[in-house]
Amino acid sequence: MPKGYAIHDTKDWTNFKVEDFDLKPAEDDDITLSITHCGVCGSDVHTISGGWGKLAVPYVIPGHEIIGTVTEVGKNVKDVKVGDRVGVGAQVSSCMNCVPCWNDNENYCRGDGKKGVLDTYNSKYADGSIAQGGYSTQIRAHQQFVFPIPDAISSENAASMLCAGITSYSPLLRNGCGPGKRVGIVGIGGLGHKLRFHSPQYGVLFAAAMGAEVIAISHSPSKREDALKMGAKEFISTKETPNWAKKLAQNPLDLIVSTASSSAVDLPAMLSTLNVHGKLVFVGMPEDSFKDMRVQAFAGNGCFFGSSHIGSRKEVLSMLKLAADKEIKPWIEVLPMSRCSEAVKRVSDNDVKYRFVLKQDLE
Amino acid sequence: MPKGYAIHDTKDWTNFKVEDFDLKPAEDDDITLSITHCGVCGSDVHTISGGWGKLAVPYVIPGHEIIGTVTEVGKNVKDVKVGDRVGVGAQVSSCMNCVPCWNDNENYCRGDGKKGVLDTYNSKYADGSIAQGGYSTQIRAHQQFVFPIPDAISSENAASMLCAGITSYSPLLRNGCGPGKRVGIVGIGGLGHKLRFHSPQYGVLFAAAMGAEVIAISHSPSKREDALKMGAKEFISTKETPNWAKKLAQNPLDLIVSTASSSAVDLPAMLSTLNVHGKLVFVGMPEDSFKDMRVQAFAGNGCFFGSSHIGSRKEVLSMLKLAADKEIKPWIEVLPMSRCSEAVKRVSDNDVKYRFVLKQDLE
């Protein structure tokens, strides 16, 4: 029977207990995985600690950066067979019956009244089945949300690409990141900062691999060396650079992807560094409102502010191909899955370079 | 000698006095106009009443929707000759020496350290010359910012196109307004509302002329009939339609142009009506910050918020051609220029359907 590391109470969010659970009933499009690895995402911490509200299910097994081996396939399944190495990210279902779903935007599924975007854990299928995540032995999901992993990428390296990676890759791809473009990545951060939703490393790694000139922007200077090693051409510490925004505006950015999860970001300054009609895309999710959001900050360069939600299957496959072709390796720390409590605590403290991956150790 | 209706004190902003003034020194690219008409813009009121800060010059002659007859041209001037009917909008100079200026984005000029975006009035040229606006007998400007008016458009009808018109037209054009698109125009408004920066009528008129399906969105239902006559396919009163945003989201908008000048707009509701990656462009300029600007409101559909600044010469010319070809006629009220005091008061009270145009009556 499937089992996993579960949290029962958001007030006791580091106290994992191993629980048995049922997979959703197998359908013709479903793929079942035996899980070997699972990344630890900031959203795991937000969810189990109650930062995003009460638990939606009696107990939550978190984890949505999942790698495993296929053990069972429904009769409609193409592209994947038993024994293949595959991954599952932060979404396991959509309605498949709305305009976004028909147009490679199932990550923006609007729902058809019966089904909609279904998160990988802390959620329920229409039939009442509970979706549990990857700090566990097994998961079952519709083939649309199960991705073959290229041989060139190790399971450890692939895991965190499936949420952190695609969350940075999709807005880069959709907003013209490429040769000749200057792309800012905000939120390299450092120890002692508030929990980040996503590691900024993928923003730097992918934007550089896509051919853009990458400018890493961070409050503290502590991550300068790492950011440059990851592929940033410039590193700017906003704390140590007076008039950083004015300096950047002299050679403005075409796109900024921000992983900062704090609303304390100086939004007008950030926007002022953009090119005409440049975009600032927040993939971090501050829990409160921006304090200083005035239209005036957008008029001088006609810039835009927006956000993004993971990525489509098509984009996940193209990201994995890029990572394989360019030999992109994330900076991770691997722990046995039984140390998930330590991992979520350290993610909460932002004490990780730059992502944990849990390795299966349940029988 | 040129003369115009001037305000000396923002506390006494309806007390216009006729003042003589000097034009800027004539240069080889300059065109001088004898003014016949000038529209009254919300920004005239913002400026003379001090809403946007102290006056930058000893007295201000407002007006930046100017039509007149050419009386003098510098030796570099092409396209225009003495006797031609031309217009001047809200910008009279840019550096011509930066990337935006080189790319038909002189309205987003970044400046070259000497010159930059120069507003038509309440501003100074690099040589110290004071720029005065169109509630006057004459204006002189660089040929880049002087536009030939097609014969098919009367001077009365052309005037307000040069700020209000282009301010709506540019974001429509740049963000894909056209056949097959659903475009929302926010801020049809009504009596008793706070001063609007721009009349929303041009949003409706131009979006409809460009072939889009126009949805006029207004708090009060009072302008329903007018909006439909202007070319809106639907009219939604947010006051009278419970769940208006949820209803709109069932058939979402590709683009919204908002002329509302209040930050009290329900931003999350407005954003929720957009298609995947749809845009909300504010051309109104609330004086304060939005209260509820959270990243979460942007993630579900990956939408964007932005603003815009008038339009480029290229766009002004294309707008005038569209208006001539499609016989677009704005809804205006014409007053003699000597009644400018009454006009600005009524604009401040939002008591105009939908734009005043002042007709020259100074000798």
Computed over every residue of chain A, the mean pLDDT equals 93
pLDDT, position A188? 58
pLDDT, position B191? 37
Q: Residue B220 — pLDDT band, cuts 50, 70, 90?
A: confident
The Cα–Cα gap between B75 and B354 comes to 39
pLDDT, position B331? 92
Q: Does the beta carbon of B304 lie under 8 angstroms from any beta carbon of chain A? A: yes
Say yes or no: A141 and A153 in one domain: yes
Interface test with B, best of A43, A94, A295 (most B CBs within 10 A): A295
Q: Is the pLDDT of residue A290 over 90?
A: no
Say yes or no: B49 and B125 in one domain: yes
Q: Worst-scoring range by mean pLDDT, A25-34, A150-159, A343-352, B257-266? A: B257-266
Which of A100, A105, A285 is opposite residue B295, by nearest beta carbon?
A285
CA-based nearest residue to A136, from A7, A272, A273, A317 = A7
Say yes or no: A31 and A118 in one domain: yes
**Each residue of B300-316: pLDDT tens digit?**
999 999 999 999 999 99
The answer to whether the Cβ–Cβ distance between B294 and A309 falls below 8 Å is no
Which residue of chain A comes nearest to B295, CA vs CA? Answer: A285
Which H or E run includes A344? helix A340-348
pLDDT, position B193? 44
Report the percent of chain B where pLDDT is more than 70: 96
CA-based nearest residue to A137, from A23, A236, A239 = A23
The residue range of the domain holding B253 is 167-307
The Cα–Cα gap between A178 and A209 comes to 9
Q: Does the beta carbon of A125 lie under 8 angstroms from any beta carbon of chain B? A: no
Q: To 5 degrees, how large is the angle CA B277–CA A186–CA A234?
A: 120
Instruction: State ipTM.
Output: 0.94
| 3-state SS assignment for residue A59 | coil
**Each residue of B163-213: pLDDT tens digit?**
999 999 999 999 999 999 999 999 855 433 455 556 679 999 999 999 999
Q: A357 near A333, Cβ under 8 Å? A: yes
Say yes or no: B180 and B101 in one domain: no
Say yes or no: A258 and A121 in one domain: no
The answer to whether the Cβ–Cβ distance between A294 and B288 falls below 8 Å is yes
- Residue B147's φ and ψ, nearest 5 degrees, are -115, 125
Say yes or no: B21 and B113 in one domain: yes
Number of domains composing chain B:
2
CA-based nearest residue to B232, from B271, B274, B186 = B186
Computed over every residue of chain B, the mean pLDDT equals 93
Q: Which residues pair with B18 in a beta bridge?
A: B5
Final residue before a domain boundary, out of A307, A328, A350: A307
The Cα–Cα gap between B78 and A340 comes to 73
CA-based nearest residue to A7, from A60, A63, A46 = A60
- Residue B82's φ and ψ, nearest 5 degrees, are -55, 135
Helix %, strand %, coil % of chain A (to 5)? 25, 25, 45
**Each residue of B56-82: pLDDT tens digit?**
999 999 999 999 999 999 999 999 999
Which of B282, B288, B302 is opposite residue A308, by nearest beta carbon?
B302
By CB neighbour count within 10 A (0-12 exposed, 13-18 middle, 19+ buried), where does B11 fall?
A: exposed
**Each residue of A12-42: pLDDT tens digit?**
999 999 999 999 999 999 999 999 999 999 8
Say yes or no: B129 and B232 in one domain: no
**Cα radius of gyration rounded to whole Å, chain A:** 20
The answer to whether the Cβ–Cβ distance between A306 and B305 falls below 8 Å is yes
Give the residue with greater pLDDT, B172 vs A265: B172
The Cα–Cα gap between B198 and B162 comes to 12
Q: Is the pLDDT of residue A289 over 90?
A: no
Say yes or no: A59 and A91 in one domain: yes
| B356 Cβ contact partners less than 8 Å away, ≥ 6 residues apart | B39, B40, B332, B333, B334, B335, B343, B346, B347
CA-based nearest residue to B166, from B315, B355, B324 = B315
| 3-state SS assignment for residue A42 | helix
Say yes or no: B64 and B85 in one domain: yes
Q: A119 near A46, Cβ under 8 Å? A: no
**Each residue of A36-56: pLDDT tens digit?**
999 999 889 989 999 888 999
Shortest distance between the Cα of B276 and any Cα of chain A, in A, equals: 7
According to DSSP, residue A22 is labeled: P
Which of B263, B279, B309 is opposite residue A304, by nearest beta carbon?
B279
Q: Does the beta carbon of B197 lie under 8 angstroms from any beta carbon of chain A? A: no
The answer to whether the Cβ–Cβ distance between A304 and B308 falls below 8 Å is no
pLDDT, position B195? 53
The answer to whether the Cβ–Cβ distance between B289 and A284 falls below 8 Å is no
Q: B75 near B28, Cβ under 8 Å? A: yes
By CB neighbour count within 10 A (0-12 exposed, 13-18 middle, 19+ buried), where does B55 fall?
A: middle
Q: B239 near B264, Cβ under 8 Å? A: no
pLDDT, position B280? 97
Say yes or no: B27 and B121 in one domain: yes
pLDDT, position B197? 52
Say yes or no: B177 and B220 in one domain: yes
According to DSSP, residue A192 is labeled: T
The answer to whether the Cβ–Cβ distance between A289 and B292 falls below 8 Å is yes
Q: Does the beta carbon of B104 lie under 8 angstroms from any beta carbon of chain A? A: no
The answer to whether the Cβ–Cβ distance between A293 and B295 falls below 8 Å is no
The Cα–Cα gap between B84 and B82 comes to 6
CATH value at residue B178: 3.40.50.720
Which residue of chain A comes nearest to B171, CA vs CA? Answer: A302
pLDDT, position A195? 53
Task: Please state the rounded mean pLDDT for residues A197-205.
Answer: 81
Q: Does the beta carbon of A290 lie under 8 angstroms from any beta carbon of chain B? A: yes
The answer to whether the Cβ–Cβ distance between A305 and B305 falls below 8 Å is yes
Q: Which of residues 224-253 of B touch A (CB under 8 A)?
A: 249, 252
Alpha carbon of residue B64 to chain centroid: 9
Which H or E run includes A46? helix A42-48
Residues of chain B contacting residue A276, judged by C-beta atoms under 8 Å apart: 100, 103, 105, 108
The answer to whether the Cβ–Cβ distance between A295 and B309 falls below 8 Å is no
pLDDT, position A132? 98
Q: A19 near A138, Cβ under 8 Å? A: no
Q: Which residues pair with B7 in a beta bridge?
A: B60
Q: Does the beta carbon of A17 lie under 8 angstroms from any beta carbon of chain B? A: no
Which residue of chain A comes nearest to B311, CA vs CA? Answer: A302
pLDDT, position A98? 96
Final residue before a domain boundary, out of B307, B330, B350: B307
Task: Please state the rounded mean pLDDT for residues B43-62.
Answer: 93
The answer to whether the Cβ–Cβ distance between A296 and B285 falls below 8 Å is yes
Say yes or no: A316 and A303 in one domain: no
CATH value at residue A20: 3.90.180.10
Shortest distance between the Cα of A106 and any Cα of chain B, in A, equals: 10
SS (H, E, C) chain B: CCEEEEECCHHHCCCCEEEECCCCCCCCCEEEEEEEEEEECHHHHHHHCCCCCCCCCCCECCCCCEEEEEEEECCCCCCCCCCCEEEECCEEECCCCCHHHHCCCHHHCCCCCCCCCEECCCEECCCCCEECCCCECEEEEEHHHEEECCCCCCHHHHHHHHCHHHHHHHHHHHCCCCCCCEEEEECCCCCCCCCCCCCCHHHHHHHHHCCCEEEEEECCHHHHHHHHHHCCCEEEECCCCCCHHHHHHCCCEEEEEECCCCCCCCHHHHHHCEEEEEEEEECCCCCCCCCCCCCHHHHCCCCEEEECCCCCHHHHHHHHHHHHHCCCCCCCEEEEHHHHHHHHHHHHCCCCCCCEEEECCCC
- Strands (E) in A210-323, as ranges, are 213-218, 234-237, 253-258, 274-282, 304-307
